[in-house]
Structure 1
Amino acid sequence: MSLATTSTAMVGRDAELAVLDDALRRATEGEPASVLVGGEAGIGKSRLTAEFRRRVATDATVLTGWCLDYGSTPAPFGPLPAILRGALDELGDRADEAAGPGRDALQLLLPERGGAPVDRSAMRPEGLRETIANLLEAAAAIRPVVVVIEDLHWADAATLSMLSFLLRALAGRPVLFLLTCRIDEVRRGGAVRTFLAEAERARLLDRVTLGRLDALGVRDLVQGLRGPIDDAALARLLERSEGVPFFVEELLCNVRGPMPDTLRDVLLARFDALGDDAKRVVRLASGSDGAIAHELLVALAGFADERLDDALREAMGAGILAVRDDESYGFRHALLREAVHDDLLPGERARLHWAYADALEAAGGSASALAFHWHRAHDSPRALGAAVSAMLQAKNSYAFSTAARFGELALELWDQVPDAPQVAGLDRIPLLAQLGSILRNGGDGERALTVVSLALGEIDTTTVDAAVHARLLRDKALYLQNLGRAGSVELLTEALAVIDGCEGEERLRATLLNYLGGRHLTGARLHQAVATSDEAFRIAERIGFDNAMSVAANLRACSRIHLGEVEAGLADFRLSWEHATDHDAQLRYRVNFADTLNMLGRFREAVAVAELGVEHSRSLGVERATGSILSHNMIEPLIELGEIARVEAAMASDLSVRTLQVFRMYSTMSHLRALVWRGGITEAAELLRDWRATAEAVSEVERQVWYSLRDVEILLALGAGDPVQAAEALRRAIDDSGPRLAHLCRLLLEGARVVADLRADGEAELAAATAESVRTAWSDLPLELQIPNWGVVLTAVLDADAEALAAAIPVADAEDIPVIFRPLVRLELARVRVAAGDRVAATDIATEAAEIAEKLGHDRLQRRTAEFIEAAGLSRAAGRGVQPADAVELTAREQQVLDLIAEGLSNRQIGERLFISGKTASVHVSAILRKLSVSSRTEAAVAARARD
């Protein structure tokens, strides 16, 4: 028999194939359905995916890519070129149209598509991933697409980031991602482990773990390979292979000698049986990270054609090598390559990689491959030059994490090369600056901060160019800002001092002033923000720097509105738009203007501005990336408008993979609000606990986060039925001695809900004190921030006056009032009507409140309204006879609670007296009011005296 023993039939994987079949069915039907096939080396992951590809080939487009083993510095986007070429072939003439506005970005991964050189200055990092998503989506519109990525354990960081994006962007499309990974080889804390944890936690991936074959499975495999086997031989084979299919096949090939004792011997058994030429070819092939091209193998082997062909045939006949894509050769299994490569002596290994690097360099090979091979060959100068080139190439392809690894390799090699600046083509300080920027863009803020701090520590301030020094200070300030830490203001101030008096640096000065103005704004140093932005605007205007003028006017607008100068701020926003001549300034304007409109209660306008921003991002080909920030900017006004279904849909397609700490904070706060709206109090409380420490830290430098944290604390307490805790959070916000932002207006309006719930729970004293505190704080606001309609609703609810509440209903129904006040104002009016004895009018208005609350799907308002209607007996027909109080039967516990109501105790106080929770006390109170057919605690107290 041939030494090449490979089963043609799939053994023992019917259940796993069924899972993959079901996943494709679900993906075809529009459900998110992607699968990770995990298992140890040799367990049959690739065999399973190959069988699945064969089964679905006629019904789906199958696109396959491989992650390559490039050691610690893999090539960026390893599996993507093969996948993209398959998608382009499927789309044919429609490919360019399907790719969208960012189609030129494909040249970064597919150089063969190049006509004119890529203009990277006009491209965005988001454009490449948006374009890839567009292509896969278009291919899936023809027929379902299966994207197979093999050997994820070798994936580079750029591939992982892209995959994180695509799993989210194409969720719900007929696209099935099928990934294979040696889970046991994934390093804890590494990029692959982090990716898998995040993807599985977000329910983006289902895991199928392949186990080892049992005795029956091994028997079936052996019979398929070489016929029947006796029990003794089967037991021996099972013991040696431990049920790993690849090892079973390898052991069966060793028919001419004794059974090997070690795995290494198992793997090398058929290699050792090769002739010298075949061994040389296999050793040469082991130096390649993936398949080795025929031309490269010819160059390395130095054989005549016929001699090389004979050696290749022998290696393939032994089942070690196999033909790949008609132009190259690869090992039949990665474990074989590892075993052969590891069997080389250190000197042999270094010479092998030197030969690879020399041949690749002569052929114009990629910088990433050259860096890998020169490094393994211990040629530090050549490895340094290649590493710097690979870093820049990966950066230009937006593979920032991969670029960072090559940059760190360059730093590692720097001191080993005497003339490093000449070899690298740049000095050490610019290298550090580049690496810091790359790390920041790759999402590693901590490492970026370390690198830029290292650069600042190494520069000689007496000789270095002032602009270089200032830019390093600026970079450190930005990295601190991204991490939500203090220190940015001092660094930016120092940077401005460094270039003070320098000629020709006005653009840099205007930019630094805008950064500083932004830091003053987020820190609520509003007058300083206005002054700094004024100066930036004047400098930019003098030199005709429109972008800086737009940003300065934008920052000044936000600052003035927080100071209560609303009209002046809106005028500055108009000025900002006039000078927004590039995409960055335009998108920044729409982000901040939408946020401001929401803050001022102009909710529908805020949504419209954000939608224009999304459309703008779509035209740039970054809808799923930069556009997702603007999509999120629609969430808060949509919550205020009560369009919670749109909010949930937007959050379900939140595509932010690695984004700034502060933006993740805002996203989390909005998620909390949506959870509370739907009644997900437990989940919201757990999420807040997870994020609180981070939120408190960030709020030290981002004042808006401080207000957002107080807001969700109030909402969560109200949703949990604890208005006392909500009142405490509100009091902290009102009494805080820190600087105030316009966000306080919305918190004070929420104070009306707090007071209403306190009154309903019998906390009369605390309700009165809270109402007075809210009134005072509202009157202390700048006049332009005392939004008229908000004031009408707020005053009516705080005063609980029937006439004011009736007048507030049409005001609450307008779109510039948060929609939750529509049922709330009606509910409070119904309470007042019941207290006045007008139960018919109360029934009508309470019914309206209940209908609105149900339509909005607001959990707490629905329950509050239903509890009131039930407790007040408004669901019973008016005029129905009511039992005398002394004829009503109460349980012993209810009688205890009624006695305490008569003493004037609140729900919380009743709970403390009876050693029960306030919520349990509230349930008893509602039951008592219902049984006594009364609507208030006062009426219940009167009924209690009648029962005595």
Structure 2
Amino acid sequence: MVTRMPAEPQTGISALPLVGRRRELDALAAGHEVALAGRATVVLIAGETGAGKSRLVREFVAGLGDHAFVLTGTSPVIVGSDIPFAPIAGALRDLSQRVPSRRLLELIPPESELARLLPEHTAGGNGSDPLAQVRLFEQWLSLLVRLGAEHDGGIVLILEDLQWTDASTRDLLAYLISNLSTGQVLLLLTVRSEALAGNASLRRLLFEATRQPSVRSIDIDPLTRDETEAVVTTLGGAGLSPRARMRIADISGGNPLYAELLVQAGDGEALPHSLVELVRERLDQLSPPARRIAQLASAAGTGLPLALLEEAATKLRLNAAPALTELRESGIVALRMGPPTDSYVFRHPLILEVVYGELMPAEREVVHRILGDIMARVSGDRPADPAWVLELARHLWLGGDPARAVPALVSAGDTAMESFAFSEALILYERAIEAGVGEKSPKPREPIGFRAIGTSAARGGAVRSVVERAAQAASLSGNPERALELLDGEHGSGQGGPTVSMRRAEYLWQAGRQAAALDIYKSALTISVRSEGRAALQGAAARAMLLAGQTHDAQRLASEAVESARAAGAESEELHALYTLSAAQARLGNLPTALETLGQARELDLRRQRRTRIQPRPSRIVDLLSGYWSEAAVLGSAGRTEEAAAAALEGAQTAAKLGIRGGWGRMVGVAAAEELIALGRWSEAEALLEEWLNTSAPPSDTAHTLAVYAFLLALRGHTAQASRHLGTSQRQIRAPIDPRLHFAQLRAEAEIGLSTGQAGEAGRSLGSGLQDLGDRVEPSELVELLAMSLRAAAERADQARARGAKAELAAIQSDAVVLHGRALANAKARLPGESRFRALLAWATAEHGRVMGDRDAGPWFAAGEHWAALREPYRVAYAQLRAAEDQLTQRGGRQDARRLLASAQATCLELGAEPLRREVESLAQRARVELAPSDPKPVGRTALGDDPEAGWPFSLSPREIEVLELVADGRTNRQIGDVLFITAKTASHHVSSILGKLGVTSRVEAASMAARAGIGKPDAPGVAIGDAVGTLGVADLGDSQEATMMFTDIVSSTALLEAIGDSAWLELISWHDELLRSLVRAYSGREVDHAGDGFFLVFPDVIAALDCGVTIQRSLAEHRRKHGFAPRLRVAVHRARVMSEGAVLRGKGVHQAARIAEAARGDEIVISSESLEFVPKRYARGEPRTVTGAGLTQAIAVVLIEWRQAANR
């Protein structure tokens, strides 16, 4: 009987952007490049059903465009009736539909053996001839070589689903693989890895194939966790609950098809029927004994030693050995070698779940009881480890043995806590409580590879009750209300000693009940406690008071906590008290002392190696994360914004590793987002905020996250969404005791008002909020709100002047004097060195002058320089706008104003700051200052020609400018379509139109013009105002100046010259020189020297040099892809001091740059390590190298720049 089996489904995921697979695509591209060099190549692509083999091939082929000739043949999915040469016949049918009939007759004459595979042609071969098959094989080989020679991109033959091939096709493949050695032929073969187990002939074919030098293999591995989550989101999983998304990422095991089917099933716990059937299709191929052993293994879970699994099988009267062999060969399980012992694991979590679901409830209990008995018996003979304890508790519980399960559950809960699996620990502790632990506390257990529970659970050997441990697990898993329920159920509401009170206050604060938490801290401090316990209590209370804005009390208590900890020799309490103390000192304006205290904390931290090898105890996680937060706060106050961001990001990453998604984990994450916003890294900040919002947390945590996100959205002009987020934040916490949250809400509300032209409303909300905050707000935050109030007043003052409302203007100015005076009063209490505070004060002063009608740009230049020193590009751009506004009123200030506005506009486009961009362009339009045309949906720096005054001379539409930027970035039509959500054909039409308008004939020429115009060439967002007024160019180098140098030359040029001859070499070198010179000019470079095929060049800065180098390499790669050849260049960049004699550069730096060039190989860009400080993060960095050689007194460290990954926009 003929049975049709389902082919790999074509699903909705095929229409979405490909996630991951960069390594695999690069491997295919490398194989194609080898084939284009005349060495035929075969690539075997193996992966499980749904892994994306066909999608990978389609993505690769789409990137080839029209240059390669592609044929596809698929094996029929029919069992019981082998069709000879079915995939080859399919490829020939594909060919017959692609070429005219006359041409097909030339390629495949009717008398040939190949014609027998085309029913529409008369077969001329003799099927009984014993040599007919050999002739057919040879004709097919010759056809491939011929088609490859006729196309610039060669021929790509795709044969899919080799697991269904017949014997004749396998013989043909063996012949091709052995004899296809030359020609522009790339053969892509796909096969389902799980289908190889029962197909010995195909396994033998593939094994022999891999021994051939022309054959390469690609194994399609599961997607990473991040890639899987991206697939789930892309498929529409963003609408699912966080728990459902996590479950899908877990169960899908990195399989895109499985992920899609699970997303379609929604939030339900049950697996979708289509997915279960897909797995059962594989299970149905197993023998009954193998399936039974699979069910046993599914109950055993992961990591059960092989000997114990075999013992359990014996108790069930099963023979494990042959069944396990069958399961392994079928790809159901894999053997995991020790240490400590060998074990079997399921290859995919979904298979385990489906197999386990086949067991009836009674069968499950029996199996778990047997497994629990075996594990309990051998537990005393082996060193305990967390996974073992967890599995033992699971089997005893599910096996219906609560008497033995309870101690194991408690032990497993302790193990889960030590492993930072807090949600799992809570479940285990609650099961133990339900089973009757009650008030009884189990004895401390022995160490299990982490540390003894008696040490980690409590001090002085007093073991905390299971309920207290459960409460801590609930808190750390983001459920403080459950923690309070457990704690009050154990001790009674408000009862318990100082340690319990400290925990209760901590949980209350986490739940958003800060006032009650502060009362408990203050009450507990009146009770006499031993020094170490008092230090912990004082430190926790100081931290809470700091967050509540009671900074003086926080400083006093933190200082007392340090003294108490030192008296008790408690370094951990001392460390965390020092961090809190430093943050309090910084808030009170004593920055030098705060930095000194922070230094003491860091020194103690390093000595304790808290952040290196030793993982924190669960009870110390709050201390750990609050330390990161305090460090970031102090560094931020000091104006060391990048260091503050780095500290906060490290804290957020640590929280994620520890599984902390709320409380201090979220606080430090939000702090990181705020620093990233200040630095202009808005996309990173948005991703971080989105990530935190997608995890459940108490209202107080979510409210703060929403307020900060609302502020960022307002800066970007997404005011409707910003208002929704702010409204949600304010509804969750109506009267926040935490001044940081109140500040965040006020700032967001004011920014929304200012962005929407409602300055009066913004001023009123700020006035009311400042009154509510009183003196609880941190002084720099206060001055920021005052500056925003003055900005709102300035907007209102301009409106009053325009209406001639003198009385209203006088009232606004009177209020502004009060606001400015309040800012200045705060400044008197601050100590020198607080660069951020000085920047905020300069901003407030400049806004005050604006209210009063001053038209001096000086205060705005001062404010801008402060912000530039802090590397805060948005604030710089705002200061540039206001400075330009004043410059336009001055004689001779028009040119400076134009440059200021152009720089501000570029920053706005880079950041996506739409409201500010509109203000900049509105001022320019009113003043008739010509700026670059910009698209509200920015695509980078919009074009200005070599002369910015001339503008962009070509009438390109906004869409064509988007396409041109991507062309300049080296994208193919298919890739352009993916980015802009258009078809490759539409992208092709746009490219053709662009080439016509620009008057060029190639994409490389268009890219050169785009680069020369500024399209695709990034501006650094953080540009000081002085830089906008004028920048030294390369030609301005004096006798001794810093210069950015580049050396290029063709690798193996002598061998290439000998290979192609003088005439072809001259033609090649002429093309090479013209290309490089055009690209160097486009990036403002200058040619210092040129000899043979090498160039010595200088650029204004490292970024321009690297952008040029990346464009050079991409242009050559594009030419090589289209035409089959381009010379291999090496590029070296080095910034050093040089001596200039006219146009000639000399000195040690020049000699170093030349030696660095020798470290590069073909198609590479290298840069000296000392120049890396000028390199932005968008450049991916590769392997480090060392350069030595004649004339160098010491080695030079260099780094490879991965130009294929560099975001050269």
User: TM-score surpassing 0.5?
Assistant: yes
- Out of 771, 774, 785, the position equivalent to 2:816 is 771
* CA positional deviation for 1:334: 6.6
Q: Work out whether 1:750 is the aligned partner of 2:750.
A: no
2-structure distance, mates of 1:310, 1:519? 61
- Out of 837, 844, 852, the position equivalent to 1:794 is 844
Distance 1:593 1:16, change over 3 A: closer
Report what 1:863 is aligned to: 918
2-structure distance, mates of 1:189, 1:613? 27
Q: Deviations over 1:804-823 (max 9, x none)?
A: 72331431232357665655
Q: For 1:120-139, list aligned pairs within 5 A.
A: none
1-structure distance, mates of 2:922, 2:631? 41
Say if 2:368 and 2:395, in contact at 8 Å, map to a contact too: yes
Report what 1:385 is aligned to: 407
* CA positional deviation for 1:248: 11
Say if 1:669 and 1:712, in contact at 8 Å, map to a contact too: yes
Say if 2:24 and 2:218, in contact at 8 Å, map to a contact too: yes
Q: Which has the higher helix share?
A: 1
Report what 2:7 is aligned to: 11
Report what 1:440 is aligned to: 475
- Out of 356, 359, 364, the position equivalent to 1:341 is 359
Distance 1:540 1:421, change over 3 A: closer
Distance 1:445 1:777, change over 3 A: same
Q: Deviations over 1:579-609 (max 9, x none)?
A: 555455898666435424534xx53x23235
* CA positional deviation for 1:769: 5.3
Q: Deviations over 1:892-924 (max 9, x none)?
A: xxxxxxxxxxxxxxxxxxxxxxxxxxxxxxxxx
2-structure distance, mates of 1:789, 1:211? 49
Q: Which structure has the higher relative contact order (CA within 8 Å, separation 6+)?
A: 1
Aligned residues: 674
- Out of 520, 530, 548, the position equivalent to 2:555 is 530
1-structure distance, mates of 2:839, 2:7? 72
Q: Work out whether 1:559 is the aligned partner of 2:584.
A: yes
Q: Deviations over 1:459-508 (max 9, x none)?
A: 996xxxxxxx322221222222223322222222343344x1x5xx2111
Q: Deviations over 1:829-848 (max 9, x none)?
A: 666677xxx57556445434
SS of residue paired to 1:440: helix
Report what 2:509 is aligned to: 481
Distance 1:842 1:396, change over 3 A: same
1-structure distance, mates of 2:23, 2:306? 39
Distance 1:409 1:147, change over 3 A: farther
* CA positional deviation for 1:424: 9.1
Q: Deviations over 1:535-587 (max 9, x none)?
A: 22332343344544454444344434444555655565555556555455898
2-structure distance, mates of 1:350, 1:478? 41
1-structure distance, mates of 2:242, 2:771? 45
Code of the aligned partner of 1:394: A
- Out of 243, 254, 268, the position equivalent to 1:191 is 243
Distance 1:143 1:555, change over 3 A: farther
Distance 1:861 1:57, change over 3 A: closer
Q: Work out whether 1:719 is the aligned partner of 2:761.
A: no
Q: Which has the higher strand share?
A: 2
Q: Deviations over 1:302-348 (max 9, x none)?
A: 5799x8479969999xx999776497698997798567632x6x5x7
Say if 1:829 and 1:842, in contact at 8 Å, map to a contact too: no
SS of residue paired to 1:810: helix
Q: For 1:82-231, list aligned pairs within 5 A.
A: 148=222, 166-167=225-226, 191-192=243-244, 208-209=260-261
2-structure distance, mates of 1:819, 1:394? 45
Q: For 1:449-488, list aligned pairs within 5 A.
A: 449-457=484-492, 469-486=497-514, 487-488=516-517
Q: For 1:370-409, list aligned pairs within 5 A.
A: 370-409=392-431
- Out of 504, 524, 527, the position equivalent to 1:495 is 524
Q: For 1:542-557, list aligned pairs within 5 A.
A: 542-557=567-582
Code of the aligned partner of 1:14: Q
2-structure distance, mates of 1:52, 1:549? 52
Q: For 1:803-882, list aligned pairs within 5 A.
A: 805-816=856-867, 824=878, 828=882, 840-841=891-892, 843-844=894-895, 846-857=897-908, 858-871=913-926
Q: For 1:609-620, list aligned pairs within 5 A.
A: 610-611=645-646
* CA positional deviation for 1:516: 0.7
Code of the aligned partner of 1:366: W
* CA positional deviation for 1:382: 0.7
Q: Work out whether 1:507 is the aligned partner of 2:543.
A: no
Distance 1:6 1:720, change over 3 A: farther
- Out of 552, 559, 564, the position equivalent to 1:539 is 564
Q: Deviations over 1:283-305 (max 9, x none)?
A: 86785557987644653455799
SS of residue paired to 1:208: helix
Q: Comparing 662-671 with 710-719, which one deviates more in the overlay?
A: 662-671
Q: Work out whether 1:592 is the aligned partner of 2:630.
A: yes
Report what 1:606 is aligned to: 641
* CA positional deviation for 1:859: 2.8
Report what 1:517 is aligned to: 542
* CA positional deviation for 1:13: 0.9
Distance 1:760 1:382, change over 3 A: same
Distance 1:205 1:799, change over 3 A: farther
| TM-score scaled by length of structure 1 | 0.58
Report what 2:368 is aligned to: 353
* % identical aligned pairs: 17
SS of residue paired to 1:378: coil
1-structure distance, mates of 2:250, 2:727? 19
Say if 1:557 and 1:572, in contact at 8 Å, map to a contact too: yes
Q: Comparing 799-808 with 421-430, which one deviates more in the overlay?
A: 421-430
Distance 1:636 1:538, change over 3 A: same
Gaps of 5+ in 1: 31-46, 61-141, 150-162, 213-241, 254-266, 462-468, 877-948
Code of the aligned partner of 1:535: E
SS of residue paired to 1:813: helix
Say if 2:703 and 2:728, in contact at 8 Å, map to a contact too: no
* CA positional deviation for 1:754: 1.5
Distance 1:251 1:408, change over 3 A: closer
Report what 1:367 is aligned to: 389
Q: Deviations over 1:59-79 (max 9, x none)?
A: 99xxxxxxxxxxxxxxxxxxx
Distance 1:424 1:378, change over 3 A: farther
- Out of 728, 731, 734, the position equivalent to 2:764 is 728
Q: For 1:680-699, list aligned pairs within 5 A.
A: 680-696=718-734, 699=736
Say if 2:749 and 2:762, in contact at 8 Å, map to a contact too: yes
Q: For 1:26-37, list aligned pairs within 5 A.
A: none
Say if 1:805 and 1:825, in contact at 8 Å, map to a contact too: no
Q: Work out whether 1:299 is the aligned partner of 2:322.
A: no
* CA positional deviation for 1:409: 1.2
1-structure distance, mates of 2:845, 2:229? 55
* CA positional deviation for 1:744: 0.4
Report what 2:965 is aligned to: none
2-structure distance, mates of 1:211, 1:406? 29
TM-align CA RMSD: 5.8
Distance 1:805 1:670, change over 3 A: farther
Say if 1:826 and 1:845, in contact at 8 Å, map to a contact too: no
Say if 2:715 and 2:915, in contact at 8 Å, map to a contact too: yes
